[in-house]
Amino acid sequence: MHLRFLLIGLLLTLAAPAGFAQVTEDSLRRQEDPSLDLLSDLDQEKKKTTKEKEKKEIKPPKNVYFGIKSRRGFTKAGAGDKQTMQLFFYLPEYKEPNPYVQHVAWYNSRKKEVQVGGQIDKGTHRLLHGPYQRFVSGKLVEEGFYNMGVRHGRWEVYDANYMLLDKTRYYKGWPAEAEITYYDTDRKKIKEVVPVQYGVKHGEYYQFYEGGQLAVKGQYDSGQPVGKWMEYYQFRRRYKKETQYPKDPYDKTTQPHTLREWDDKGTLTFDKEKEDKKAALSRF
């Protein structure tokens, strides 16, 4: 009997190492080096801290737009219900604008006003650069973004009840859908800008000489040229030819006709109004 119990005990003793080895195999390293648990916890905490730090660093720097630092400005004009206020950002130093874009916006620091185009003084004029808002009688009526003095992105116009009246998208001063052709493969010398909105020619048309001087300027409305179109000589921006198109794009009866012409010295060589008067007098 005693021998029987001794044999059973011996068998249990021999079987124990294999069974326990399977259960504790995954934890042996930590039993030998308990610091591994601490290192694992520290590594997880470090990853968490790094992610939080990255989120904080993503916050864009203040008053920086399109990678350029700007200053905040504002203007006020008028009083009462007619008071107009403009909130905007501008470059702290004078920068040359894109020579092709015609409607460049400036902040005149001497007169404390925003102007588009006109005579420029490098000492007082700074390009608008960043968000822009215009208020009339305290109500927002227009907003958008400027990039180096030209409209960029979406611009919106509202009525006094903040109802949207007009929405236009721009890309560096041109309508976003405009068809632009160039003289060079580097796409720096603009040849022609055809304005397009919603797939239809609509807006201001421009043609340039290879040297960058304005050659032709006109207006499209609903796919048709309208109003007065001007042609210029290459230098000194002297007038060359003035052509009248129908004022209404749906007018099919009025034909385009030349109003006036000049030679390259600026002398008027043809005036339709005068010619019509002469023709009328010759009938009598």
Per domain, the residue ranges of the chain are 59-174, 177-284
Report the candidate in 186, 264, 195, 199 with the shortest Cα–Cα distance to residue 226: 195
Rounded CA-CA distance 171/169 in Å is 7
d(CA 179, CA 195): 6
CA angle 229, 207, 168 (to 5 degrees): 80
Report the run of H or E that residue 3 belongs to, with start and end: helix 2-24
Nearest Cα to 151, choosing from 136, 135, 166? Answer: 166
- Do strands 71-77 and 84-90 pair parallel, antiparallel, or not at all (unpaired)? antiparallel
What is the rounded distance in angstroms from the CA atom of residue 99 to the CA atom of residue 42?
Answer: 58
Q: What is the pLDDT along the chain (284 residues), one digit of tens a residue?
A: 555 555 555 555 555 544 444 545 555 455 555 555 555 655 666 666 666 666 666 676 889 999 999 999 999 998 888 899 999 999 999 999 999 998 999 999 999 999 999 889 999 999 999 999 999 999 999 999 999 999 999 999 999 899 999 999 999 999 999 999 999 999 999 999 999 988 999 999 999 999 999 999 999 999 999 999 999 999 888 999 999 999 999 998 999 999 999 999 999 999 999 988 888 777 76
CA atoms within 13 A on the CB side of 214: 20
pLDDT at 233: 97
In this prediction, residue 79 carries a pLDDT of: 86
Distance CA(132)–CA(152), nearest Å, equals 11
Which pLDDT score is estimated for 112? 94
Are residues 238 and 262 in contact, defined by beta-carbon separation less than 8 angstroms?
A: yes
